[in-house]
Structure 1
Amino acid sequence: MSVLNNAQKYAPKAAVQVELGHSDDRQFAILSVQDEGPGMPPEVLQRAIEPFYRAPGTRVPGNGLGLSVAAQVAQVHGGRLVLRNLEPHGLAAELWIRVQSA
């Protein structure tokens, strides 16, 4: 669960909220992880799902694969990973997965 691990690693001691819901048309299940940490600078936010990308100056252990793998898993299941900064601070990571019809 890369999106939750990232919230815990990059926003330690910050509140983290996890929700499971669905899109308005009910075609996607959405796992949302929101933290009250520092968020990401715009240039990092744009590259965060690239394999092996690590933000300049990052001191947290890791290999830069977590968000990339989450994004790829979502894509294989017809979905996507959406990252956005929250105001006044924090980050929202939403994992959208297409729901299979019976």
Structure 2
Amino acid sequence: MANNEMPNKIEATSSRSELYREIVPSYFVGGIRPGFIETIAVTVRSNLVESAVLGKPQKMEHIEEICIKLTPIEAKNLKDWLKDILSEYEKQFGEITTSKE
């Protein structure tokens, strides 16, 4: 095959990173930067059981789990996907209400 010819097939594979994990974020923070939108998933943990059982002072810890940087196009794609998936969720499980409503 000459250097300027394209291959007939491109092999595509997918796999899961060794660092892959699931989290349930408590909230998101973020902002905009030139060329991308950034969001940080934050979880909140407490020592409620230790506090109640052992009498330790109660603590709440806010942990920044991951920062996701999206191009504006990918951010719009994510917004559209979330809108579609939330609509489907509400059809199956009922309307989602938030504290803002």
TM-score by length of 2: 0.24
Larger radius of gyration: 2
Q: Identify the structure with bigger relative contact order (alpha carbons < 8 Å, sequence gap 6+).
A: 1
TM-score by length of 1: 0.24
